[in-house]
């Protein structure tokens, strides 16, 4: 399936009525197309080819690629630079902005700079504390949090001014997003917190990993009861477990991760645990796509990026369409099964 809104790199699309960006991700979501995003872990390198090499594993399988911003408080190439490189060749990146490392002056400058280079999607995050990363001696900033960052992004875009009130001459044309965790505690507050992010300006959200579909359904029912369906696009986070041990480590050490015992036991009982971990992810995707109000999935396969194509293909979630990627119409890339 092809769409008429696929750009030649360097030639921006017009903004459609009711849209706030010219980006492909917003167009697909507003058309009601079940969308797929994934994450590119920025390299520890200044070589642009390292970025392009990492992006190519997603070719033909995702609609947008997140560039993480010092995730886990670890230092890598900046999200802004990764997004600029990806945009240059035609990918649709999602620029993550963490409030941990920059104050509102630098953040507003990055939003304008990213938009000037064609970055259409921004994910607003508070960020992990520096104590969890590879530079614990760093001074955290946290001048803003995700709510105030969303509000600033919306002010730049819709009111054409900085938070200080000073006018800007050309507003950033961006699609604003935030993170959500349907599985965190206290569980009954999660939908209300999402409502606050929507009120602050979130147009789409990408959630924490989902390994518990019944709990996700309960969350989505609360989202519907709050009248949020149709006001925000929800992309549910999924990811393959490399092993049962990896799953146990994640739920014990990563804040906000909820993995039921049944999932751990299923992977533990398999002869090939990595294969079973991918199959669990495929099964989850097929369940998640049927839930009312879910607009897509966000595949997080840390250090397993090569498995994303296999997972997406086997899940059938794209429904036969091929997301745009550089050179899509000139080459065909077969799937290689991973062990």
pLDDT digits (tens, 9 = 90+) for 266-325: 999 999 999 999 999 999 999 999 999 999 999 999 889 999 999 999 999 999 999 999
Per-residue pLDDT at 155 exceeds 50: yes
Q: For residues 172 and 188, what is the distance between their CA atoms, to the nearest angstrom?
A: 35
* Structure tokens, 159: 């009111």
Q: What percent of the chain has pLDDT over 90?
A: 81
Per-residue pLDDT at 177 exceeds 60: yes
* Structure tokens, 293: 């109000």
DSSP label of 140: P
Per-residue pLDDT at 331 exceeds 60: no
Domain segments of the chain: what residues?
24-315
Give Cα 264 distance to the centre of its chain. Answer: 25
Which range among 4-13, 92-101, 142-151, 207-216 shows the weakest confidence by mean pLDDT? Answer: 4-13
CATH number for the domain running over 24-315: 3.20.20.220
pTM assigned to the model:
0.92
Per-residue pLDDT at 189 exceeds 60: yes
* Structure tokens, 278: 């991918």
* Structure tokens, 77: 């190439």
Handedness of CA 202, 206, 208, 213 (dihedral sign): positive
Q: For residues 79 and 77, what is the distance between their CA atoms, to the nearest angstrom?
A: 7
Q: Which pLDDT score is estimated for 133?
A: 67
Give Cα 64 distance to the centre of its chain. Answer: 8
Per-residue pLDDT at 6 exceeds 60: no
């Amino acid at each position: 399936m092809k769409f008429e809104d696929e750009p030649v790199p360097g030639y921006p699309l017009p903004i459609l009525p009711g849209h706030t960006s010219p980006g492909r991700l917003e167009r697909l979501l507003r058309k009601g197309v079940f969308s797929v995003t994934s994450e590119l872990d920025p390299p520890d390198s200044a070589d642009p080819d390292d970025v392009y090499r990492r992006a190519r594993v997603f070719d033909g399988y995702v609609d947008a690629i997140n560039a993480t911003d010092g995730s886990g408080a670890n230092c890598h190439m900046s999200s802004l630079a990764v997004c600029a490189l990806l945009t240059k060749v035609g990918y649709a990146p999602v620029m993550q902005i963490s409030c941990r490392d920059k104050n509102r002056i630098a953040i507003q400058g990055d939003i304008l700079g990213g938009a000037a280079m064609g970055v259409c999607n921004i994910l607003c995050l508070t960020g992990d504390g520096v104590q969890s990363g590879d530079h614990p001696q760093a001074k955290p900033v946290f001048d803003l949090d995700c709510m105030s960052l969303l509000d600033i992004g919306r002010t730049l875009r819709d009111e054409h001014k900085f938070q200080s009130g000073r006018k800007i001459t050309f507003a950033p044309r961006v699609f604003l997003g935030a993170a959500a965790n349907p599985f965190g505690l206290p569980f009954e507050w999660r939908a209300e917190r999402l409502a606050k992010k929507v009120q602050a300006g979130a147009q789409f959200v990408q959630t924490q990993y989902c390994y518990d579909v019944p709990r996700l359904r309960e969350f989505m029912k609360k989202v519907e009861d709050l009248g949020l369906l149709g006001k925000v696009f929800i992309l549910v986070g999924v990811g393959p477990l490399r092993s049962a041990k990896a799953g146990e480590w994640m739920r014990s050490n990563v804040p906000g991760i909820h993995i039921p015992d049944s999932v751990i036991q299923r992977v533990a009982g398999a002869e090939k645990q990595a294969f079973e971990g991918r199959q669990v992810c495929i099964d989850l995707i097929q369940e998640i796509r049927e839930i009312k109000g879910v607009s897509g999935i966000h595949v997080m396969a840390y250090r397993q990026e090569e498995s994303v194509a296999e997972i997406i293909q086997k899940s059938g979630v794209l429904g036969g369409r091929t997301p745009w990627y550089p050179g899509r119409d000139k080459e065909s890339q077969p799937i290689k099964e991973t062990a």
